[in-house]
Amino acid sequence: MSFYHKPELALRRALELESINQSEAALTLLHDVLSSRRHRTWSPTYEQIMLTYLNLCLKLHKSREAKDGLHQYRNLSQSQAPGSLEKVIRYLMDQAEKKCADAKASADAVPEIEDADDDDDEFGTSSPQAILLSTMSADPAKTQRDSTLLMPSLKFLWETYRTILDILKSNSKLEHVYHAAALGALRFCRVYKRRTEFRRLCDMLRMHLGNLQKYGNLAIISDDSKPNNKIRGWEGWTSEAIELHLQTRFEQLETASALHLYTEGFRTVEDIFNILQVSNARRKLHPSLPPPKAKLMAAYYEKLTTLFWVSENYLFHAFAWYKYYTLCKEYNRGMSEDMKRMQASAVLLAALCIPSLPNDSSQSGQHGLTSTLEDDIVKEKMARMATLLGFHTRHPTREALLAEIRAKNIMDSVPSYLRELYELLEESSDPLLLVEKARPLLDQLKKEIGATTSTDSEQDNADVEDNTLARYVKPLTSVLLLKLLLNLSTVYHTVSLDFLKKLTAGLDVSFEQVETAIVHFTQKKTLSCRIDHRAGCLRFGDAELESEAMRSQLTVLAKQLESVCKIVDPPDEAKLAKERAELYSEIRSNLEAEHTAIIDRKNLIEKRKEEAERMVQEKIKADLLQKAEEEAMSKAEEAKRLEREKRLREKEKVLKIKKEMANMEKKKYLQAIGRNADAMTEEEIAQVDTDALQKEHAEKANKKREAAERKVREAAKRLDYLVRAVRIEELPLIQKNYEEKAKKDRENYEAEVIEKTKRAKLQWEQDVADKAQLEAHSVFSYIDEFEKAAMEAREVQQREICAQEDKRAEMAAEKEKIARARKRKEDEIKRQEEEEAARVAEEKARKAEEERQRKEEERLRKAAEEEKRRQAELARMQGERERKEKERQESMRAPPSKGFESTGNRGAGGGGGGKYVPPSQRNRGGGGFDNRSGSRPSYSSDRGGGYGGGRYEGRQQGGGEDGWGSGRGRASGSDRGSDRPSFSDRDRRDERGGSGGGSRRWAS
């Protein structure tokens, strides 16, 4: 950034770098511009810079750089130009979505291109990677294509959504952009089936909503409140903000239903409840504020009907339909009768789909304390969900909903066959006619094709086939089967399976499905029965003898036997009274211990509560610690940015030092070649060419070195002559000494040879004697045998050593071969890098040379044009001078007028004491001329009527009063030009002045 003092220059340079395929350098340059603190005032140029920066990030898949750039641009334009920030964010979203769609289309189009090459793999020539992928996925080729082509674009788009949501999480001015990004992210998760990203997105939106509720809640909108500094840019909850949040959560709810993530769907319901609580709190502070629109809430309950239907929670599905129907009647006054009938039918059918339980209320607590705890947990969950959904009761049941339907007269709006079906399921108890009566009603229900909602929106969920009433046939069949089994259990104790098959034949279900339903009902403790395949019957039994109650049957038997014993053998009342008194005394003695145990239990419960509170506090501390860690990470990022700026400043400092060192080197060269560097300015030193100075300095150094070498050569030549003369003189002496030494050496050699021969002969004689003595004792045969054995051992050892050495040599050769291959590879890489560097340097030099030649051609062209203009101007001036000279000569050759002599004392052109002549009349020959003789003046019009302009000698030398008459007197009777010198430059200028100028001059 130090080289680009204006953002426009940086943008231009980045575009140039991008045009020569240096996108990384362009991205780094624009990032430095955005993160620089030198220019912190927004301008339209920064918007162009940001768009170019985002295009580069999209091209290179740099999501982290895009995030950093958006944060920098947010800090720059949030307060000055929020509209520009919105434009940039929308541009990024559109481009990222477009690129992701193109990548998906490319990935899907690849199989069509590869269909022609299917014959290549018919012999099993697949790669190992393809074989490994085939064991992990159904379509390994598609998985590989998606990971190669689609995954980078998906990852960039997901990071884009996360970044935008993080930037705009508390910006009230751009809240619609925030929700547009949230809807885009939800659509992304639904289209590409990204369940993990959907969970993270839900957590992020929930965290943003929690922060707004915690730090930016109702105090912001109150009149006497202080501005909230904990959330920058948040201006408080408004009706529009609440509506946008609700619409986003509705879309989130629908996406959770499409992805089968019901846990996230229920959490989304909690979020919607929290938003509605904010709306209610606002209305308490400001009663004039309107509640959420009925249409909006109707859309919410419509989404809930889909969610609970997919999750098979028929109870809350029915309650959601009831709320939706009630709200539609409120806001949609123009709803048609057919639509009312369809929606009322949907409410009734949804209520009938709820599995019915036996009327005996004692069965709810049939398993004592164990089942009571489970029932309490279920009831608590049901009550919480009912509260979150805004239902009118905390304990929603099938009977309560049907009572509401009857109270609201919804039964009057449904068709007659549905009322019959209601009466059959609720009031009929004949199991033999139940299925027979219900079958035609269900068949008629299957034929219903009308939509149950006012908006025919397409559902992405495969489980929701349509919005017609026919989808309720399957759950109604299950309820009908349960009703049939309950009625059979009240009438019969055992039913044959063939009889049961005959009764269920009209339900269009197989007997396997009936068995599955029976097992399901038994597991849910709705029905108590056993299937006896050996006897071919279905046995109904009391719940007291089933499941967990079986462990108490011995106790019941003992009680019954005890009652029998009391009848057979009546007990002794006195003995019973005594035992009862002893029992009471024992109870009194144990009362204190039981009281202590109760207190201990209470203390234990308190400790557990304290432990739970402690865990909550620890969780809060962990959250604070995590927040502190996040702040530390942000500070670390800031420190990194400061460190990066510090490196840039150090780089500028290094460049400045290099420049100073270059100037110092130039000064050194200037001083070396004898120039005065102290008298030169810094600009003059900077303009000096270092290469030229080095060349000049090298030339002088070469001259000095050549002179020194010449002197050395001359000295060496003199020394050579001297040494040669000395050697010539000492040659005879050396030869004489050599001959004497050779003679003496010969004599010594001959004496040594004679002495050596004598010693050798004596040694030989001694050796011969020793040999004879050794042979006499057979010593040499023993030595040969020992030597042979030793040599055999040494040969074996030598072969082993040779084999080891061969192996070592082979390993060494292999290592050297690998080392040579590595060295060749490194040399090749180094050569390629050097060639690339040389190519880059050559490219830079070529561009510099082209720029220099272009500037030189421009300079020569301008010089030629300047020379051409100068020559043209000279030619024009020369032509002008020639024309004027020609006119002057012609005027001087003209004959004098007769009237001129007769008017010698009158003056001419208004000169002297004559009458003033106007300029318009001066060219007519009047004003001093006597033209009565019919002659006319001979002077040209360019000279002011013949004599008005010009400086004449007659005026300067005449003795008359006017000067003209005396001058004219000397010139009379002869040519005017003969008595007057040539014009000077000033005279020519006076000629151009005309008669007016001359008249004024003579008149004065």
- What strand order describes the sheet that includes 494-496? 494-496, 537-540, 529-532
Look at 884 and 216; give whichever has higher pLDDT: 884
- Kindly indicate the confidence band of residue 995, based on its pLDDT and cuts at 50, 70 and 90: very low
823-854 pLDDT, tens per residue? 999 999 999 999 999 999 999 999 999 999 99
pTM, two decimal places: 0.47
Asked whether the predicted pLDDT for residue 764 surpasses 90, the reply is yes
- Please state the rounded mean pLDDT for residues 241-267: 86
Q: What is the pLDDT of residue 324?
A: 83
Q: What is the pLDDT of residue 464?
A: 42
Most confidently modeled range among 179-183, 776-780, 958-962: 179-183
Most confidently modeled range among 358-372, 382-396, 609-623: 609-623
269-298 pLDDT, tens per residue? 888 888 888 887 777 777 777 777 777 777
Phi then psi for residue 288, to 5 deg, are -75, -15
With pLDDT > 70 as the criterion, what percentage of the chain qualifies?
76
Asked whether the predicted pLDDT for residue 765 surpasses 50, the reply is yes
282-341 pLDDT, tens per residue? 777 777 777 777 777 777 778 778 777 877 788 888 888 888 888 887 777 777 888 878
Are the beta carbons of 21 and 30 closer than 8 angstroms?
no
CA distance 562 to 628: 71
∠ CA 615-616-622, nearest 5°, is: 85
Most confidently modeled range among 666-680, 691-705, 719-733: 719-733
Q: What is the pLDDT of residue 860?
A: 92
Q: What is the pLDDT of residue 963?
A: 39
Q: What is the pLDDT of residue 865?
A: 92
Per residue in 784-821, is it b (16+ CB within 10 Å) or e — as a string? eeeeeeeeeeeeeeeeeeeeeeeeeeeeeeeeeeeeee
Asked whether the predicted pLDDT for residue 138 surpasses 60, the reply is no
For residue 264 the two structure tokens come to 């996230």
CA distance 600 to 598: 5
At residue 929, the 3 state secondary structure works out as: coil
Beta bridge partners of 495: 538
- Please state the rounded mean pLDDT for residues 736-748: 91
Are the beta carbons of 380 and 388 closer than 8 angstroms?
no
Q: What is the pLDDT of residue 808?
A: 92
Most confidently modeled range among 105-114, 264-273, 567-576, 797-806: 797-806
Asked whether the predicted pLDDT for residue 456 surpasses 50, the reply is no
The CA distances from residue 338 to 335, 343, 410, 696, in Å, are 8, 9, 14, 104
For residue 121 the two structure tokens come to 């793999």
Would strands 529-532 and 537-540 be described as parallel, antiparallel, or unpaired?
A: antiparallel
| Terminal C-alpha separation, the chain | 73
- Please state the rounded mean pLDDT for residues 107-117: 54
- Kindly indicate the confidence band of residue 127, based on its pLDDT and cuts at 50, 70 and 90: low
Q: What is the pLDDT of residue 335?
A: 76
Q: What is the pLDDT of residue 122?
A: 38
Asked whether the predicted pLDDT for residue 15 surpasses 90, the reply is no
Q: What is the pLDDT of residue 131?
A: 54
Alpha helices in 192-334 (DSSP H): 195-215, 239-258, 262-285, 294-310, 314-331
The dihedral of CA 400, 406, 407, 409: what is its sign? positive
Q: What is the pLDDT of residue 664?
A: 83
Q: Give the distance from CA 394 to its chain's centroid.
A: 47
Burial of 409 (0-12, 13-18, 19+ CB in 10 A): exposed
Task: Give the list of residues 6+ apart from residue 981 with CB closer than 8 angstroms, or none.
Answer: 953
